[in-house]
Amino acid sequence: MVLTYPLITLSTRSQVEAKRAETSVADAVRRIIAREGVSGLYAGLESALFGISVTNFVYYYWFEWSRGVFEAANVKRGIGKKLSTLESMAAGALAGSATVLITNPIWVVNTRMTARKSERTEASSDLPTLENPRPKKALSTLGVLRQLIKNEGFKALFAGVIPALVLVINPILQYTIFEQLKNLVEKRKGRKLAPLDAFYLGAIGKLFATGITYPYITVKSRMHVAEKADRDPSVIQSLKKIVDEEGVSGLYKGVGPKLVQSVITAAFLFAFKDAFYNLTVQARARAKISK
């Protein structure tokens, strides 16, 4: 998250700023730095680190628990522990839904901080001028949270929860692709997956998942920053509004940085997760031997 956060900033701002003319990634970086300094590329990082920690904790807890239930059922049926594609998807759906409902308020605050919504007006330029100086210091995470509740109520913390629930399909696709590729690789190589293998398979899974679900990511981000009066009541209406006003390309604003960020993050996540898991198993084995 720390390594790839500037890509999240670029992607999020492209998603939520509907009226902005298309610019290259390099131009977008220059504009942000000119207006806000290098720190502008890391707006909302603290809430993102908290959010990703909670999100992964909740997701993996529920995913491992539901996977364990399916594995136990499969063992009783005498078909081994391996999950079918449908079982992997069901485990991912349960874990993803629980994660969305618990963590959505964190990501609403993060999106607002990353987009610096409260610091902008529709007519403002990205470049500093006498009429449009550098923005004042951004609010802290708690400051944004208090301002959001005060101005829009607790309900605003669950803005975008419907497209977020639809996006449960993202990790379902990601983990299903990963699990099936993992089974295939382990069968062919006759050994457990190595961290480098997990890195590549994690990248492939996330690439497909994010590419397929990106329009819903755009809608979710816009709902997170929209004022109550401007928030569209349904996901379908939000999608239709973007297409009507900006064309189909409006659904894919910022997709380049997002794909790069998602793929790198997922690849490292899977690689480090498997490496830490293997180290933990080895450490426990050595501890038993020493006893």
Would you state the structure tokens that stand for residue 111, as one six-digit string?
A: 């999106």
pLDDT tens digits, residue range 40-60? Answer: 889 889 889 998 899 889 988
Answer yes or no: is pLDDT of 26 > 60: yes
pLDDT tens digits, residue range 91-114? Answer: 888 888 889 989 999 988 888 888
Residue 112 inside a domain? The answer is yes
Residue 291 inside a domain? The answer is no
* pTM for the full predicted model: 0.67
Residue 290 inside a domain? The answer is no
Answer yes or no: is pLDDT of 5 > 50: yes
CATH of the domain at 103: 1.50.40.10
Question: What confidence score (pLDDT) does residue 228 get?
Answer: 65
pLDDT tens digits, residue range 224-277? Answer: 888 765 665 678 888 888 888 888 888 888 888 888 888 888 788 777 877 888
Residue 54 inside a domain? The answer is yes
d(CA 206, CA 175): 8
SS (H, E, C) 182-231: HHHHHHHHCCCCCHHHHHHHHHHHHHHHHHHHHHHHHHHHHHHHCCHHHC
In terms of residue numbers, what domain contains 70? 5-285
d(CA 36, CA 39): 7
Chain mean pLDDT for the chain: 81
Q: Please answer whether residues 86 and 172 qualify as being in contact, where contact means their C-beta atoms are separated by less than 8 angstroms.
A: no
pLDDT tens digits, residue range 117-138? Answer: 544 433 344 444 434 445 556 6
Residue 65 inside a domain? The answer is yes
Residue 73 inside a domain? The answer is yes
Residue 111 inside a domain? The answer is yes
Residue 253 inside a domain? The answer is yes
Count of domains observed in the chain: 1
